[in-house]
Amino acid sequence: MGDKHEPSGDSNGEVTAKADRSSSLQPKAYSLKPKAFSLSRWEIVVLLGVAFVMAIAVYQALSRPGELAEGASQPTVLPAETPLRPFKVVNAHEHLFSRKFLDKYLDAAEKTGVVRTVFVASSDYTLMGSGKPQDKGNDENTEEILAAAREHPGQIVPFCTIYPGDPQKLEKIKRFRKEGVMGLKLYTGHGNFYDKPLDDPAMMPVYQYCAETKFPICWHVNIVKYAVEFERVMKQFPDLIVIVPHFGVTFFRPQEEPFRIFQRLMDAYPNMYTDTSFGTRAILVEGLEAVSRDPEPFREFLKKYADRTLFGTDMVVTGNKEKTAPWIADVIRACRELLEKDAYRYALGAKGAAYATKNSRNEAGVFRGLALDDATLRKIYETNFERLFPPK
C-alpha cells in the first residue's frame, strides 16, 4: 500500500478552482445589459422570461444531486452541511493493525456517532500490503484486537481469524472464544485469498462448530465468483450465522445478475446478513458512485433486508500516514451520509482527488445518497447488532 495518494488539501484546491469556472453564466448576463437599452419593453419581458426559465432549470438540476455526480457541465453547488442523525451507531466491520492506532480511530468514531466497533482480525496481507503473506499474523492480530477490547470494554467487539491451512484452526477458534472473541472473520471468498473451494473438506469442522454453537462468521464472499460453492456450504449448514459484507461484492453493478443472486441467497438463508461497507480508498469511492448513479436498487435492498443489514466502514486502520483521525472521520461520515442524506460530499472522491475513479466527472465530489427513514436506519445502526450480539 504505497503512499502515492495526494493529501486532501490539494484536492480541495482543485475543487474550488473547478467550481469557480462553472459560474461562467454570469458574464453573459452582464453583456445583455448594454443591449437591453435598445430593446423594446416586450423584448425585455421575453428575455426576462427566458432567464427565469433557465434559472428554474438550473435550480432543478441542482436539486437532483445524482446528476452532479454524473454530469460534466453541471454547475457545482455543495449540499448544505447538516448534522448526522442522533443514533448510537455500531460499526460492524473494521480492521485494526495495532493498538498504537486505536486512539485516532476512537477519536474519529466519537465525532461521528460511532459507539461500538467490531474489529475483525486480519493477516499481514490485509494489514501490511499485498506483498505480505496470508498465513502470517492471524493469531497475533487476533490477540492484539482482544487486548484492545479488554482495554475498551463495550466499545470494541473482537472477531478472530484463522488461516484455512492451519491444522490447529478449530482449536484456536475455541481458545480465542474463551478469551472473548465474538465471531470469526474468513477471507476465503476473496479473489486474492481464494485457493480452495469454499466447501473444502478441511473447513467443514469449522462451519459445523460455528453453526452448532451459533458463532457468527463475517465471511468475505465474492458472490460474482463463488455463489455456487457458498450455497453448497449454506445448504449443508443452514443454521450458520454469516455476515457476507459489501452486498457480496455485487455493489459495483446492481443492475446485473449477481446482485439478484445475492438477494436470492438472502431469501433462502434467513441467518445470512450483509453490511454496508464497500472497502477502502478507491473502492469506497466506487461504491459511493455506484449508489449515486442508481440509488433505487440499493434503497429497495435496504428496505427489504433492513433486519439483516449492518453498518460497516472497512477502511483498515493502520499507521499509514494519510490515515489521520480527520481522514478516518471523513470516511465514517461518508459511509453514514450515504445512508442518511439525499446528497453529501466526500472530497477525496472528487475528480482529480486521491481516490477519484477512472474517467470521473464528479468535479465536486458530491454524491447522491439514500436518505433512508429513521426506522430503517435504527435497525442497520443499532438493533440488528444488538439482536445478533446481545449484551452479556
Among residues 124 and 314, whose Cβ is nearest to Zn ion? Answer: 314
One symbol per residue from 270 to 309: x for binding Zn ion (CB under 5 A), - otherwise; what is it?
A: ----------------------------------------
120 pairs with which residues across the strands? 159
Which of these, 288, 343, 334, lies nearest to 63 by C-alpha position? 343
Among residues 314 and 330, whose Cβ is nearest to Zn ion? Answer: 314
What is the closest distance, in whole angstroms, from the C-beta atom of residue 156 to Zn ion in the complex? 16
The number of residues making up the chain comes to 392
Among residues 104 and 220, whose Cβ is nearest to Zn ion? Answer: 220
One symbol per residue from 302 to 341: x for binding Zn ion (CB under 5 A), - otherwise; what is it?
A: ------------x---------------------------
Among residues 314 and 337, whose Cβ is nearest to Zn ion? Answer: 314
- Name the closest residue to Zn ion (Cβ): 314
Among residues 93 and 351, whose Cβ is nearest to Zn ion? Answer: 93
Cβ atoms of residues 245 and 271 within 8 Å:
no
What is the closest distance, in whole angstroms, from the C-beta atom of residue 229 to Zn ion in the complex? 20
Binding-residue total with Zn ion (CB under 5 A): 1
Cβ atoms of residues 388 and 311 within 8 Å:
no
Chain centre distance of CA 99: 23
Question: How far is the CA of 366 from the CAs of 8, 21, 79, 243, 297, in angstroms?
Answer: 15, 17, 8, 30, 20
Among residues 121 and 380, whose Cβ is nearest to Zn ion? Answer: 121
Structure letter (DSSP) for residue 270: T
C-alpha cell at 137: 499474523
Residue type, 305: Y
What is the CA angle 386-247-229, rounded to 5? Answer: 105
Helices (H), 122-168: 124-128, 138-151
What is the closest distance, in whole angstroms, from the C-beta atom of residue 235 to Zn ion in the complex? 26
Which of these, 130, 155, 136, lies nearest to 145 by C-alpha position? 155
What is the closest distance, in whole angstroms, from the C-beta atom of residue 93 to Zn ion in the complex? 6
What is the closest distance, in whole angstroms, from the C-beta atom of residue 321 to Zn ion in the complex? 21
Among residues 169 and 190, whose Cβ is nearest to Zn ion? Answer: 190
Which of these, 169, 171, 383, 354, lies nearest to 273 by C-alpha position? 383
Cα–Cα distance for residue pair 277/207, rounded to 1 Å: 24
What is the closest distance, in whole angstroms, from the C-beta atom of residue 126 to Zn ion in the complex? 7
What is the closest distance, in whole angstroms, from the C-beta atom of residue 316 to Zn ion in the complex? 7
Near Zn ion in 91-130, by CB under 5 A? none
Near Zn ion in 37-96, by CB under 5 A? none
Q: What residues make contact with Zn ion under the rule CB under 5 A?
A: 314
